């Protein structure tokens, strides 16, 4: 969907809830380009999940402007029959929105636009994260990840399964090579951290113990 975020165009769209529990575009008034291969509306829970996944890329150079430019946020205007919602464009920031927002990909042409730039950006950062997390014999490179993800999308397409835009994003943000499990490593680190008390709580308990000893000393 092509949208100049600097303009106040009062765009709206109608979305419906699919059998897969994703929201899909039913109708929209924007006369810009909308790529049927990058379809669907990202709902508020998916926005929250996406922001959580993006947080792990902060230390590898995540650009908030690239992220915000990749999406056009929409707020719910009203509920409609047949599990549909009418949404209207808003200027909210997906990182700091006070409202529950939907997001549509910002696309200006076939395989072009801020959303495509966003996908390129997070693939590069995901590769950095994986190479920093695992001791691969050969470091991963962007091209091989792109080839793998493209093959997965093609397989879905041939099978007649429509790919939702959120699935495309998560396929990048959750990607781990076969035989590796990043979540297990994160859980192990978390469990090690949780074995002991945080230093501040530990110091507090020591102070309390010393106070009790002082009170009983005579």
- 85-108 pLDDT, tens per residue? 999 999 888 888 777 899 999 988
User: What pLDDT score was predicted for residue 60?
Assistant: 97
Between 75 and 10, the more confident residue is: 75
Structurally, how many domains does the chain consist of? 1
Of 3, 167, 163, 162, give the one whose Cα is nearest residue 73.
Answer: 3
- Stated pTM of the model: 0.77
In a domain, 173, yes or no: yes
In a domain, 198, yes or no: no
Over residues 154-169, the pLDDT tens digits come to: 888 788 778 899 999 9
Reply yes or no on whether the pLDDT at 152 is more than 70: yes
Average pLDDT, the chain: 80
Reply yes or no on whether the pLDDT at 180 is more than 90: no
CA–CA dist 162, 19 (Å, integer) = 12
Domain membership of residue 16 as a residue range: 12-180
Q: What is the pLDDT averaged over residues 54-61?
A: 96
Of 186, 101, 175, 97, give the one whose Cα is nearest residue 140.
Answer: 175
In a domain, 108, yes or no: yes
Phi-psi region of 82 (alpha: psi -120 to 50; beta: other; left: phi over 0): left
User: What pLDDT score was predicted for residue 38?
Assistant: 62
Confidence of residue 28 (pLDDT cuts 50, 70, 90): confident
In a domain, 217, yes or no: no
In a domain, 20, yes or no: yes
| The two structure tokens encoding residue 170 | 């998560």
Reply yes or no on whether the pLDDT at 136 is more than 70: yes
In a domain, 150, yes or no: yes
Between 178 and 184, the more confident residue is: 178
In a domain, 186, yes or no: no
User: What pLDDT score was predicted for residue 36?
Assistant: 56
């Amino acid at each position: 969907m092509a949208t100049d975020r600097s303009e106040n165009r009062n765009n709206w769209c109608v979305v419906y809830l699919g059998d897969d529990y994703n929201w899909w575009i039913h109708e929209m008034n924007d006369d810009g380009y909308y790529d049927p291969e990058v379809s669907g509306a990202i709902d508020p829970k998916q926005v929250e999940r996406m922001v959580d996944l993006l947080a792990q890329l902060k230390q590898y150079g995540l650009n908030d402007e690239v992220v915000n430019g990749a999406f056009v946020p929409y707020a719910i205007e009203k509920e409609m029959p047949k599990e549909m919602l009418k949404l209207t464009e808003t200027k909210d920031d997906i990182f700091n929105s006070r409202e529950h927002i939907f997001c549509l990909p910002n696309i200006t042409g076939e395989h072009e636009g801020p959303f495509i730039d966003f996908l390129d950006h997070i693939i590069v950062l995901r590769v950095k994260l994986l190479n920093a997390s695992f001791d691969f014999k050969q470091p991963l490179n962007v091209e091989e990840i792109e080839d793998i993800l493209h093959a997965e999308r093609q397989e879905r397409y041939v099978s007649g399964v429509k790919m939702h835009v959120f699935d495309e994003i998560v396929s990048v943000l959750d990607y781990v090579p076969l035989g590796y499990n990043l979540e297990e490593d994160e859980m192990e680190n978390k469990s090690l951290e949780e074995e002991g008390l945080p230093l501040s709580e530990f110091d507090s308990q020591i102070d309390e113990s010393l106070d009790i000893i002082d009170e009983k000393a005579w």
